[in-house]
Amino acid sequence: MDSTCAADYALLIAASDPLDWSPAATLVVGVLFGVGIARMLLKRHRRQNQEQADQVMAVAKREAAVVAKELKQAAENEIASTRAELSREQDRHAIETDVKLREIKSHEESLAALDFELQRKNERLNRESDAVKQARDALREKSRGLRRKLEGLSNMDAEEIKTSLREEVQIECQDELRALRRGVLERSEQDLQNEARRVLISAMQRLSSRPNNDLTATIVQLPTEEMKGRIIGREGRNIKSFEAETGVTLLIDESPQMVLISSFDPVRREIARVALEELIADGRIHPASIEEFVNTARDEIELKVEQAGEDAVAQLSINGLNPEVIKLIGRLKYRFAYNQNALDHSVEVGFLSSMLASELGLDPAIAKRAGLLHDIGKAIESDYEGSHATIGADFIKRHGETPTVVNAVAAHHEEVPPESVYAGLVILADTVSAVRPGARAESMSSYIQRLDRLESLAASIDGVKQAFAIQAGREVRVVVNPKVVSDDRAGEIAKELRQRVEDELQYPSTIKITVIRECRYSETAT
């Protein structure tokens, strides 16, 4: 009997008189009521189980969504990190490729110059050979003519013949003697130029150094965007504390996962970079930890500075330098001129000066010492007044350097007169190191624009006829109209142009300004 029939039967029995119920009927009614109650309890239990199952399913769905979101975020972060790493690797390969191409181009230019020089020498030898052959034929013809003339004059005595021959030879050979003298002088000057060129090329080819591609901007990569908020801190207290401790400015913008450190002092910028990277790696960013990590980074940079100075001195095998001088040399590691590292430039000038001194038979140790120390004034703090050449010369003089080295350092930009040939070697080596291809990251277009701008500044002054930028932009020569410009006004033009160049141009090193006022008077005799 199913539950419906049992319920109906129970109702039918309940409708009858209870007194007429038999024990069997009573048992049936009890069973049926029990079945109904069990059924109701079963339904309620199933409903509760279903509700619990629905709740468990909803919780599981929410947890699965959270896990899926976290996995998706982790995958996106890993993809972004991999993409950034690939981008940096690609940039590095591009820079290395560009460096190689520049080196190949430089070698090609050197080979082309040598080939052109060889062709010129061959042409000159051919011309000289033809001239010698013509001169020999002319002498033979003159000898035959002279012999015939002597035969006709055999009735003259010996003294008369000698006198006549001497006068005739002087008259005929006067023009040839003048031409021979002029040729000897010109050849001597050419030989001197060739020898100077040979010395320079020999020294430059012995020195092979990679162009510098270091950047002055300092960028710190962040692991996540959340790190920017932690660096800023509540109400900006962390970033204010960091800037106060390091003396730099942190630029946090919309750029993904990066922070820019800005400061004119490269040493402070390097200390800030090291401290910030350590803070990010540690994860605890608050004013107390910032002060601790900045002090640690400052000590680390000081050690690196001292080590850089020791390495430079050891690389050049220089002995007897004062420890303060060595430490100051190491500070050049974090300074740049048009992206050319100042320490690498100083070491290169030391090598070049030594090689040039060796080629000329001078003492390479003195030249090497002066070359390494020539830019040491750039590492001295701004409390001292004057150019870096004079400041550096005063500093090394106080620390026991010889007058020859002091003068070479002070005169390497020709601000004071050179007193020895070593000063000239340092000037030459400094120029070669600064203007060689690839030494400083300046494109050809910007280089040409700088020269055009220099010439246009000079030409814009009243009374200037012509202006020429020479020595790779390190000197400008200005020719003025002597009828309009007096001697006093020419001096004023030089000062005015110097001021305008300093205010309106960005340029490496120094620019020499020469104003020329010349009067010429000529007449033609007829």
CATH number assigned to the domain comprising residue 300: 1.10.3210
DSSP secondary structure string for all residues of 111-170: HHHHHHHHHHHHHHHHHHHHHHHHHHHHHHHHHHHHHHHHHHTTTS-HHHHHHHHHHHHH
Stretches where the chain sits below pLDDT 70 are: 1-22, 149-158, 161, 170, 172-217, 337-339, 381-385, 435-447, 472, 508-509, 526
Domain contains 459 = yes
Give the tens place of pLDDT for each residue, 107-116. 888 888 888 8
Residues spanned by the domain of 385: 218-435
Please report the pLDDT score of residue 219 as a whole number.
Answer: 80
Same domain, 305 and 429: yes
Domain boundary among 179, 206, 233: 206
Q: Determine the Cα–Cα distance for residues 416 and 371; give it in Å rounded to an integer.
A: 17
Same domain, 229 and 193: no
Domain boundary among 382, 410, 435: 435
Same domain, 383 and 283: yes
Please report the pLDDT score of residue 1 as a whole number.
Answer: 46
- Both tokens assigned to 206: 């012995």
Same domain, 247 and 202: no
Contact between 28 and 13 under an 8 Å Cβ cutoff? The reply is yes
Domain contains 274 = yes
323 half-sphere exposure, CB direction, 13 A CA radius: 1
Please report the pLDDT score of residue 211 as a whole number.
Answer: 42
Domain contains 63 = no
Please report the pLDDT score of residue 216 as a whole number.
Answer: 45
Residue 373 burial class via C-beta count within 10 angstroms: exposed 0-12, middle 13-18, buried 19 and up: buried
Q: Determine the Cα–Cα distance for residues 25 and 388; give it in Å rounded to an integer.
A: 123
Domain contains 64 = no
Residue 187, phi then psi, degrees to nearest 5: -65, -35
Same domain, 240 and 266: yes
Same domain, 285 and 376: yes
Domain contains 68 = no
Domain contains 13 = no
Domain boundary among 374, 409, 435: 435
Please report the pLDDT score of residue 400 as a whole number.
Answer: 86
Same domain, 451 and 431: no
Same domain, 229 and 365: yes
Please give the tally of structural domains in the chain. Answer: 3
Find the CATH number of the domain harbouring 485.
3.30.70.1350
Domain contains 327 = yes
Same domain, 263 and 306: yes
Tell how far CA 29 is from the center of its chain.
104
Domain contains 503 = yes
The rounded radius of gyration (Å) of the Cα atoms in the chain is 46
Same domain, 161 and 310: no
Same domain, 470 and 355: no
Please report the pLDDT score of residue 210 as a whole number.
Answer: 45
Tell how far CA 494 is from the center of its chain.
32
Same domain, 377 and 493: no
